[in-house]
């Protein structure tokens, strides 16, 4: 581009008879000397001044052309996959809107996500006695895993509902399986009723897993989108801890397990009521052509002083997405597969790196270190998860998504290697219990710094608006499928190959994830969703 600019300047200078010295400063070309050579013109001083004015106008026009070309080249460079090499320096004005209450309402879905995942762990022994399945381990396994099967269905359903009915209405519809599932589980008198309740609750949390990060990402101001997006994972962890706390009365009241399931109805109803007062996603409204409603939503979320700016960005972003919403098969087309595959891969790495396996096996690990209490073991893992996620929320808009992901998987790889060696090396046998506990806690901390919160935040950012809801749903479907498979086969694989070999395999997966993220994942910190879409989105 510098050669083009030099040629243009040289041409302009010869026409005007001026001398230019091109100096590059802050992306602009500045004139150092624009003096007229001393000539005698028959037309007098008026003619000279006219020529000088014309030269000044020509110089200004060329600077505008150069700036336009630089912006175009920058956008093309970003579109070619170099988004991470061109961080946004645009200063974002602070929002005077009220986005936080609506993020809080959406996070009720994240709490329910974590609560339904964790509630069965403490209650399983007691509900098995009441439903007469104490001696049937296979049926107990289905009571646990039916939730995951339902979540797989729900995660795919959530994207379609969000595109058809909007984000807030989908939240309200999601309350139906969440509340009915919790009620059936709490009142079940047979294992069949319990499994139907768990299946419905699973469908509900599957929809939540897709719609919560999508809605938060679309309503959050750019400057705090990372922090607010990672709150989703934080509230999932809080939901798991809430399920743990809810199980404390079980020792003195075995029938309390029914109340544990019934409690989940309350946040479900609160979420439905809260979404009745929450604004719809402005991006979805613009995509539907509802511009006046979008302006009202922007005014609530960002403040009236940012309405013009945000609406301009939304309309500019929607100009390239005037097509109808994409179908499921469009996600696998050459146009979109590059970014869709990143989403699916991140969730596959997240699960295949062993997070659920570590949680499943943590009780046995801690018992080998002399910690006999299941509650203490679960509390330590849960507290580590919450603490790490809180740190990630603080760092998300400072360090960026990509660096946190890489740091997280590197820490997980090191922790898994430590766990593997603590079981395999005889020289470490006297310290195996302590090293196993240390490795588990470090692993969970590393996971919660990036691998846990970042994928659900990053995916709505990199997916174009036309495919965003369905692509997020597809990626989360991969999450639930891999989660289900690992939960089903983990103990069998451990019995065949040994826990040390399995942990070593998890370390290798984490190392592969680091290499993949380095080569394929882009940095989105400080960029609006419209900027990211214009930079990464292929032409229609």
- Residues 232-243 have pLDDT tens digits of 888 988 898 888
pLDDT at 69 over 50: no
CATH of domain 330-539: 1.20.1250.20
Residue 130 φ then ψ, to 5°:
-70, -35
Retrieve residue 10's tokens. 């040289």
197 Cβ contact partners less than 8 Å away, ≥ 6 residues apart? 180, 181, 182, 183, 184, 185, 186, 188, 261
pLDDT for the residue 81: 41
pLDDT for the residue 71: 41
At the second CATH level, the architecture of 98-278 is Up-down Bundle (1.20)
Comparing 103-112, 269-278, 530-539, which segment has the lowest mean pLDDT?
530-539
Q: Label residue 136 by pLDDT band (50, 70, 90).
A: confident
- DSSP 8-state class, residue 449: I
User: pLDDT tens for residues 249-296?
Assistant: 887 888 999 999 999 999 999 999 999 999 999 989 998 889 999 999
pLDDT for the residue 325: 63
Asked whether this chain's domains 98-278 and 330-539 adopt the same fold, the reply is: yes
Q: What average pLDDT does the structure give for the chain? A: 77
Q: Label residue 14 by pLDDT band (50, 70, 90).
A: very low
User: pLDDT tens for residues 425-440?
Assistant: 877 777 777 787 888 8
Comparing 113-127, 188-202, 321-335, 437-451, which segment has the lowest mean pLDDT?
321-335
**Cα gap 396→399, rounded to integer Å:** 6
Comparing 24-38, 202-216, 239-253, 347-361, which segment has the lowest mean pLDDT?
24-38
pLDDT at 173 over 70: yes
Domain chopping of the chain, boundaries: 98-278, 330-539
User: pLDDT tens for residues 478-522?
Assistant: 888 887 777 667 767 877 888 888 889 999 999 999 999 998 888
Q: Give, in degrees to the nearest 5, the angle at Cα 419 between 416 and 423.
A: 140
Q: Label residue 43 by pLDDT band (50, 70, 90).
A: very low
The answer to whether the beta carbons of residues 393 and 450 sit under 8 Å apart is no
218 Cβ contact partners less than 8 Å away, ≥ 6 residues apart? 167, 281, 282, 283, 284, 460, 529
What is the percent of the chain with per-residue pLDDT over 70, rounded to a whole number? 73
Q: Label residue 533 by pLDDT band (50, 70, 90).
A: low
pLDDT at 50 over 70: no
User: pLDDT tens for residues 394-416?
Assistant: 887 788 888 899 999 999 999 99
The answer to whether the beta carbons of residues 404 and 454 sit under 8 Å apart is yes
pLDDT at 108 over 90: yes
Q: Label residue 317 by pLDDT band (50, 70, 90).
A: low
């Amino acid at each position: 581009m510098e050669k083009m600019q030099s040629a243009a300047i040289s041409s302009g200078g010869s026409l005007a008879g001026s001398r230019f010295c091109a100096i590059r400063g802050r992306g602009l070309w500045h004139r150092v000397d624009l003096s007229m050579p001393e000539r005698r013109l028959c037309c007098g001083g008026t003619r000279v001044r006219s020529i000088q004015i014309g030269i000044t106008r020509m110089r200004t026009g060329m600077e505008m052309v150069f700036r336009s070309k630089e912006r175009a080249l920058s956008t093309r460079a970003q579109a070619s996959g170099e988004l991470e090499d061109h961080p946004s320096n645009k200063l974002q004005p602070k929002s005077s809107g009220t986005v936080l209450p609506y993020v809080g309402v959406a996070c009720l879905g994240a709490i329910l996500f974590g609560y339904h995942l964790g509630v069965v762990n403490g209650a399983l022994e007691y509900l098995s006695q009441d439903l007469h399945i104490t001696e049937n381990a296979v049926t107990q396994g289905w009571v646990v895993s039916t939730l995951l099967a339902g979540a797989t269905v729900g995660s795919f359903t959530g994207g379609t509902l969000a595109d058809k009915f909007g984000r807030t209405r989908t939240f309200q519809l999601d309350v139906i399986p969440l509340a009915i599932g919790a009620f059936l589980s709490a009142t079940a008198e047979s294992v069949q009723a319990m499994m139907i309740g768990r299946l419905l609750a699973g469908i509900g949390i599957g929809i939540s897993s897709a719609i919560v990060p999508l809605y938060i990402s679309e309503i959050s101001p750019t400057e705090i989108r990372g922090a607010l997006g990672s709150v989703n994972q934080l509230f999932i962890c809080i939901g798991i801890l809430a399920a743990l706390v809810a199980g404390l009365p079980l020792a003195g009241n075995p029938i309390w397990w029914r109340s544990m399931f019934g409690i989940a109805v309350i946040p479900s109803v609160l979420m439905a009521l809260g979404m009745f007062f929450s604004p719809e996603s402005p991006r979805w409204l613009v995509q539907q052509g509802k511009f006046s409603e979008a302006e009202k939503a922007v005014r609530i979320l960002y403040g009236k002083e940012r309405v013009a700016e945000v609406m301009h960005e939304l309309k500019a972003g929607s100009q390239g997405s005037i097509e109808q919403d994409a179908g499921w098969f469009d996600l696998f087309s050459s146009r979109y597969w590059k970014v869709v595959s990143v989403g699916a891969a991140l969730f596959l790495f997240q699960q295949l790196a062993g997070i659920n396996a570590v949680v499943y096996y943590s009780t046995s690990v801690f018992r080998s270190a002399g910690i006999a209490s299941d509650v203490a073991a679960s509390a330590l893992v849960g507290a580590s998860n919450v603490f790490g996620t809180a740190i990630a929320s603080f760092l998300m808009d400072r360090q960026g998504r990509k660096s946190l992901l890489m740091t997280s998987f590197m820490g997980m790889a090191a922790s898994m290697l430590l766990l593997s060696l603590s079981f395999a090396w005889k020289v470490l046998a006297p310290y195996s219990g302590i090293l196993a506990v240390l490795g588990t806690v470090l692993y969970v901390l590393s996971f919660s710094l990036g691998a846990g919160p970042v994928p659900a935040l990053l995916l709505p950012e990199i997916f174009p608006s036309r495919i965003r809801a369905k692509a997020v749903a597809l990626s989360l479907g991969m999450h639930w499928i891999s989660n289900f498979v690992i939960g089903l086969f983990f103990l069998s694989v451990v019995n065949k190959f040994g826990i040390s070999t399995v942990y070593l395999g998890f370390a290798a997966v984490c190392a592969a994830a680091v290499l993949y993220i380095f080569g394929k994942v882009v940095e989105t910190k400080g960029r609006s969703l419209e900027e990211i879409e214009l930079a990464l989105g292929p032409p229609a």
